Amino acid sequence: MTTGALLFAFNNERTDYVKLASWNAQRIRRFLEIPVAVVTDSADHPDLQAFDRVIVSEHGNSGARYFEDYGQSVTWHNTNRTDAYSLSPWQQTLVLDADYVVDSDSLKMVLASDQHFMCFRHAFDVSGSDNDFLMPTFGRYKFPMWWATVMVFCKSKRTELIFDMMSMVKQHWQHYRDIYAIEKSPYRNDYALSIALAMVNGHVLTIPSIPWNMASVLPKDRLVWNGSQWSVHFLDRNNNRRRVNLNGTDFHAMGKKNLEQALADHS
């Protein structure tokens, strides 16, 4: 069975996702020892040589999201995660956000699982703060949320159905917003995935998930990388400056600007 990683990287006016993905591709090969493919519309980007395969695709319908680290709304080309099943060249695929930093071989355990599909059910803030970014539910009815940031799947009828359901939710987003009473209008892969998993599983929410919580760094906190170790600098509840070191910990860098700056500072 072939196994590889699949990253989606569609640049916007503020973030060079291809550059982030190319940096991460090297780490995926180092820690997980699998090839990496990228899906992008930047066919002439100089960093594409970092990937084993380049899949050129249109970015699909665009939206806008407010990013706290930029302090403004920016174009957000992130709606075609539903195409991961059809686009992946691998029989077993690890789908990662370009801003999910691989810093260990932990995901090898998930790749070794016999489950058809797995992703994270819960996420936590590495600074220990309470916030609304990482809520485990969505909508007025507090429906449980699964994260599309990291997905591992094998090609099978069940997995194909999950992605088909995600596509249906995306195509009829306003309808599902109404059903689940989702106040915020932008489409989110996380919501579509959660709804799809529930439907495929008969709304019995005992769904196999990655057996640990996803470490996350929020946009308000500063990332620092010294070439071998990451650290997160933040203010605690009493406005005291704190720092936490991330030793061999994979994490979701939710502040794209912060991740780009951390890499630029060390380049």
CATH number, domain with residue 75: 3.90.550
Indicate whether 267 belongs to any domain: no
* Residue 37 pLDDT level (bands cut at 50, 70, 90): very high
Segments forming the whole domain that contains residue 48: 3-214
Indicate whether 246 belongs to any domain: no
Indicate whether 238 belongs to any domain: no
Indicate whether 219 belongs to any domain: no
Structurally, how many domains does the chain consist of?
Answer: 1
Residues of the chain with pLDDT > 90, as a percent, come to: 70
For residues 52 and 35, the answer to whether their CB atoms sit within 8 Å is yes
Average pLDDT, the chain: 91
Indicate whether 235 belongs to any domain: no
Indicate whether 255 belongs to any domain: no
Strand ranges, E, within 126-235 = 137-138, 143-144, 147-154, 214-217, 222-225, 230-235
Indicate whether 226 belongs to any domain: no
Indicate whether 222 belongs to any domain: no
Residue 19 reports pLDDT greater than 80: yes
Maximum distance among all Cα pairs of the chain, rounded to whole angstroms:
52
Residues of the chain with pLDDT > 70, as a percent, come to: 92
**Looking at residue 267, what is its pLDDT?**
62
263 CB-near residues (< 8 Å, 6+ apart): 20, 23, 225
Report the sign of the C-alpha dihedral through residues 264, 265, 266, 267, in that order.
positive
